[in-house]
Structure 1
C-alpha cells in the first residue's frame, strides 16, 4: 500500500498546473490539478477504500478530492464523516464530500440534524445542503414552514457558505412546494441575498425569487 500511495502522490504532483492553481485559488481551493484529469485518474484506480483513507489523511486538497472519488461512501461510520466534514475546509473538498459521500451514506439523516444546528458555519452549511436534498427528494416529515422561518431569521447575516446553503434550501422549497412558493419568493425579495450575484449569460441567477420563477417556468414548459 505504501508503494501504491507514493505512486499516486507522485502522479498528482505531475498533474499540478500553476495556471489551474491560480484559477482554483480564486475560489478558495488550494490545488492545481485539472478536475477532468483527476477524474480520469480516479477512473483508472477504481474503488479503493484503504487508499482513499490514506489519501484523505495527507491533508492535501488534490489527494482528498481523489480520495472522495475512489472511496466507498457506505463504508464510513457516522463519527468518521463528522470528523471529515470538520477537516474539509477547501470549498471543493467540502462540496464533493457532502454530495458524493455523505448523501450516499446510511447516517445521512443523523448527520443532517446534527450539522444543521452546529455552531461552525461550514459544518452547518453541510447540514443545510442535506436538508435541501430532502426538500427536493424526501420532504415527508420536514416542517417546511419552520425551515422558512429559520432562513428568514438567519440567512441575511449568515457567513457566505452557510448563507449560500440556506438560500439553496429556500429556492428548493419554492421550486418543489407550490404551497410555500409565494412565501419563499417574498422572503427572498425582502432579504435580497445574492440579488446582485454576477451570473453569466444563459445561466440562472442564484437570487431565490429569480431562481424559483425560472425553474417553475421550465417545469410548466416540459
Structure 2
C-alpha cells in the first residue's frame, strides 16, 4: 500500500472495525473500533506519506487521524498547523498521539508548550503541561521547577480532568527526577489528594503522586 489513496485506506480501516473494540474505546471517550495493534501494522505497510497523512486527518475520522499521526512527517507541519490540529483533536487518543508522536518531535514544540500552557481551554492547556513534563524529564535546564510547583499547588485540585491529569503527571515527574524538589512534590500530592483513590490494577503503579514518586525512585536505586 505504498501509494494508497485515501479511499483505499478508509476501506482498509472499515475492514478493521470491530464492535467489541469500539465499545471498549467508547468507555474511554474514543470513537473508533480499530485495534491499535492492527492500526500500527497498517501504518507500517504504508510507511511515511505526508500528503496522505494530511488527507486522512482532514476526513475527521478518529481511526484515520490516528493512522495519519503514524505516517506523517512531524517536522513538516508548521506551528499554526499543529495548533489547529490540536484544537480539532476531539478524542483523548487522537490528542495524546498528536502531542506525543508529532508535536514533541516538532521544532515548534517549545513555542507551542508556552502558548498552550496558558490557554483558556483546559484540554489545550493539558497539551502544554504534557510538553512541560517532557522537558522536566529530558531538558529541564531553564525551567522554573519551583514556579511550576507553585502553579500545580494552586490550581491542580480544581482543574478539569484532562488538565488535572497532565498537571499531576508533571508533579510526579518533578518529584521523580529532581531530588531537591522531591519532598515538596510529595507534600503537595499528599495535601491535595488528587487521584488518591484512583482504581489501580494489580501490578500497576498508582497515579497518586506520592506513591508514584516513591515507587519510581525506589526502582531507580
Aligned equivalents of 1:135, 1:110: Cα separation in 2: 16
Map residues 141-160 of structure 1 onto 2, 5 A cutoff: 141-160=142-161
Partner of 2:86: 85
Aligned equivalents of 2:41, 2:218: Cα separation in 1: 37
Change (3 A) 1:189 1:158: same
Partner of 1:103: 104
Map residues 103-142 of structure 1 onto 2, 5 A cutoff: 103-142=104-143
List runs of 5+ in structure 2 lacking aligned partners.
none
Aligned equivalents of 1:22, 1:163: Cα separation in 2: 25
List runs of 5+ in structure 1 lacking aligned partners.
none
Answering whether residue 57 of structure 2 is matched by residue 62 of structure 1, we say: no
Aligned equivalents of 2:23, 2:150: Cα separation in 1: 40
Aligned equivalents of 1:134, 1:205: Cα separation in 2: 22
Deviation at 1:3, TM superposition (A): 6.9
Deviation at 1:89, TM superposition (A): 1.6
Partner of 1:43: 44
Count of aligned pairs between the two proteins: 220
SS in 1 for 2:5: helix
What is the TM-score of this pair, normalised by structure 1?
Answer: 0.98
Deviation at 1:190, TM superposition (A): 0.4
Partner of 2:206: 205
Partner of 1:18: 19
Partner of 1:162: 163
Q: Does structure 1 retain, via aligned residues, the 8 Å contact 2:4–2:46?
A: no
Change (3 A) 1:3 1:172: closer
Partner of 1:175: 176
Per-residue Cα deviation, 1:162-187 (whole angstroms, up to 9, x for no partner)? 00000000000000000000000000
Q: Does structure 1 retain, via aligned residues, the 8 Å contact 2:117–2:125?
A: yes
RMSD: 1.2
What is the TM-score of this pair, normalised by structure 2?
Answer: 0.98
Per-residue Cα deviation, 1:39-73 (whole angstroms, up to 9, x for no partner)? 00000000000000000001100000000000000
Aligned equivalents of 1:36, 1:217: Cα separation in 2: 32
Aligned equivalents of 1:125, 1:89: Cα separation in 2: 13
Aligned equivalents of 2:6, 2:56: Cα separation in 1: 8
